Chain A
Amino acid sequence: MSGREPQTALAAAIEQNRRNERVTRAWLLAPALTIILAISILPLGITVVYSFLTPGTYGGVTWEFSTDSYVQFLFQRDIFDDSLVFNSAYVSIFLRSIGLALGATLGALILGFPTAYFIATKPREQRNIWLFLITLPFWTNLLIRTYAMLLIIRDEGIINIMLMKAGIISSPLTILYTDTAVFIGLIYSFLPFMVLPIYASLEKLDFSLVEAGYDLYANRLKVLFHVIVPLAKPGIVAGCILVFIPGLGAYITPELLGGGKKLMIGNMIAMQFGASRNWPFGSAAALILMALVILVLLANALAARRGASNNG
């Protein structure tokens, strides 16, 4: 009897302690949870709800359930007769955006990997200066940087004037307001997102492995693709994701450098909330874009898990 009592008291104390801990934890979590709820879940919930409503006459929504927004994405009542036909317009807008984002990712990788390698192989005390130079453009607003790019590549811009003065070309190259201009702009804007993660991987690279490769009679290319790239893979994947996702939803760059003749996903969504007066369709298109992004992330997570289990 006397032996059991302290034990129950102890158990009670532990229980009490645990309860206190739970309360404390709840309180400590509250700010984070509030923020997630208020600025992530709630707006997303509104978007989901709106995407299933009917457009109001002058913008806004009327509270009638409808799946039209999702149907509209793939099909349309034919412009001119009322049959339901496959509509490639929105799909081709999405495909163009995906193509541009993929192209920009590839371009950033081709430029970013050697840059990261260059920095990682510098003496330790110099690396910070190079990294500082890579992040320097972030001190300026994206809009202003894009506008500066516009001034550089326009018909009477720096590149064309220099090439013409040097006598290399006689009439200006038309770069601005083409897909090429959008590529250049996207690569320029997102290049640091590619360089930094790859650098982080390469920095940890054990260069004795590279030497071992050479000792085993591998040539430079073989060392690059069989030793360095596999070891830098986490950084490369992270960099590609960090460039592809914002590239997919890019709004300013295509608008300023692309000349506005072709719609991109971001511009198409913005239009639904303005002149098109179709908020539900804008919401649906935004959700479809998000679903695409989540698919990319899931594919990456799966690949990473498979890679991990293969290695293990």
Chain B
Amino acid sequence: MKTVLRLLATASAVAFASSAAMAAGELNVYNWGNYTSPEMIKKFEEKFDVKVNLDGYDSNEAMLAKVKAGDTGYDIVVPGDYMIKVMIGEGLLEEVKPNEMENFKNVDPNWVDVWWDPGRNYSIPYQWGTTSFTVDTAIYDGDIDTLALLFDPPEVLKGRINMLNDMNDVINAGLRYLGYGRCNGNQDELREVLALLSKAKPHWRTMDYAVIEKLTSKDVDISQSWNGAAMRARAQRPTLKYAYPKEGFTGWMDNVAVLKGAPNLDNAKLFINFMMDPENAGLTSNFARYANGILGSDKFMEPEMLSAPEIVMPASAPAPDFVTPCPQEVVDLYNKIWTQLKQ
């Protein structure tokens, strides 16, 4: 009997070890859709003999909802700045200490002590950009660097505006136009924001995330936009110009992080280190059309990326404003404003 038990134990141990060895050859990446360079993934697969499985999401909130539901099997996620802070707070990320890895020396020091992950114990830069708006200068040739174009538009742009269908992006732009602070719980100021948005809404044609399509189909002539999307739209409509409004605009960074309980933890760590290699960061930027936070990656980027006005900010532009997650009371107020606006 004893020998049988021992045999069984050995057999199961062998089975276990072999399945573990098989699993060592995989990595499950959960990233925003159409945002991962196939070339970069191929390079990682060949270098480490690991099979990468890719899955996509379209908002931080959708990703969070799925991860919170548990047992996703994903190793890598790429949350935006505020979402990194939320997920660290909720205990959903593994503390993989990228700051002790070999390639960490390549991370731009400006992106190390960030408020969402001070010192970078959990995450590394993936891509960063800005959220502002882009205008067809053949239609409107005045000064474009003001949010008045969205909230108090000149005659030619009335009814030709697309806003992002995003509560935070729209309300934050309104707060900036009125000169009020973000994550604002001040009721008098929010009342003014609601009045401003309600007054501007008849001039908006659509509220939609599909920025590139709305602009290139000429459904609209001005659209709230991320800088990379603006660059991709400009490729098909060359008179588009990305604005850096004097009232301010949003900055954001997406970050590579490892989920707690990742089934392929070792490969996930390899991937984190791999993504801090300038060449791989450059491949990602060439695909997604945003800047990354890795020093030396410009050597591997397409020349037009290095001079694109969507990426290289003019000296006169205000610094991008990285918006922290708002407390629940403020989110509740924003929700009410948003519902009121869209009822």
A residues within 8 Å of B by Cβ?
A: 57-60, 76, 79-80, 88-90, 92-93, 154-156, 174, 176-177, 259-263, 268, 273-278
Contact = CB atoms under 8 A, between A and B. Distances in A.
Interface string B308-343: 000000000000000000001001010111111011
Interface in B74-104: 86, 90
Given A79-B190, A263-B339, A58 B86 contact: yes
Contacts of B218: 155-156
B205 A60 contact: no
B191 interface: yes
Contact of B168 (A93, A156, A260, A275): A275
Contacts of A155: 218-219
B166 A275 contact: yes
Interface string B173-210: 00000000000000110110010000001001111100
Contact of A260 (B167, B187, B194, B208): B208
Contacts of A79: 187, 190-191, 194, 333, 336-337, 340
B236 interface: no
B65 interface: yes
Contacts of A60: 65, 68
B315 to A, nearest CB: 34
A154 B339 CA distance: 27
Contacts of A93: 339, 342-343
A260 to B, nearest CB: 4
Contacts of B219: 154-155, 176-177
B12 interface: no
Given A177-B205, A177-B219, A275-B166, A262 B342 contact: yes
B206 A259 contact: yes
Contact of A278 (B90, B206, B335, B342): B335
Contacts of B167: 275-276
A185 to B, nearest CB: 15
A155 B159 CA distance: 13
Contacts of A57: 328
Given A79-B336, A156-B217, A261-B201, A275 B64 contact: no
Q: Is the interface of B mostly helix, strand, loop or mixed?
A: helix
A274 to B, nearest CB: 4
B343 A262 contact: yes
Given A79-B337, A274-B61, A277-B331, A261 B342 contact: yes
A59 B70 CA distance: 13
B165 A260 contact: yes
20 contacts: A59-B65, A79-B194, A80-B187, A80-B188, A89-B336, A89-B340, A93-B343, A154-B217, A177-B206, A259-B207, A260-B165, A261-B201, A268-B339, A273-B61, A274-B59, A275-B59, A275-B166, A276-B338, A277-B328, A278-B335
A27 B196 CA distance: 64
Interface residues of B, number: 38
A90 B165 contact: no
B87 to A, nearest CB: 9
B62 A259 contact: no
A156 B220 CA distance: 11
B339 A89 contact: yes
Contacts of B205: 177, 259
A267 to B, nearest CB: 9
Given A58-B64, A80-B190, 11 more contacts: A59-B61, A76-B336, A80-B187, A80-B188, A90-B343, A93-B343, A156-B218, A174-B159, A176-B219, A261-B207, A274-B65
Nearest to A151: B217
Nearest to A88: B343
Contacts of A268: 339
A80 B340 contact: no
Contacts of B86: 58
A57 B65 CA distance: 12
Contacts of A274: 59, 61-62, 65
3 nearest A-B pairs in the assembled complex, by CB-CB distance: A259-B206, A260-B207, A274-B61
A88 B168 CA distance: 23
A43 to B, nearest CB: 13
Contacts of A177: 205-206, 219
Nearest to A59: B65
A238 B205 CA distance: 37
A89 B343 contact: yes
B190 A90 contact: no
Contacts of B159: 174
Interface string B239-277: 000000000000000000000000000000000000000
Contacts of B201: 261
